[in-house]
Amino acid sequence: MAVLINFKTCDNALECNGVAVCPTGCLTYDENKQSIVIDNKKCISCGKCVTACMVGAIRLAKTEPEFKKIQEK
């Protein structure tokens, strides 16, 4: 359903592992903003980004209630 990033713990690294493993380009690095950008329309909920994130900042919500619960944290 949707990928969320906790930018309080995310280091916004250009060489983000989550961006590197995303098969659809849902996660990209915007050099102008110097930040990771999410396009959830491209997300296929594979979870590869969650596993690859070395700081544990990426989460995947598979339902609307789960999305809201993660957003509240």
What is the domain-level CATH number for residue 51? 3.30.70.20
Q: Would you state the structure tokens that stand for residue 50, as one six-digit string?
A: 């969650």
Domain range for residue 36? 2-72
pLDDT in tens, 8-66: 999 999 999 999 999 999 999 999 999 999 999 999 999 999 999 999 999 998 888 88
User: In what helix (H) or strand (E) does residue 48 lie, and over which residues does it extend?
Assistant: helix 48-52
pLDDT value of position 32: 95
Determine the pLDDT at residue 73: 66
Total domain count for the chain?
1
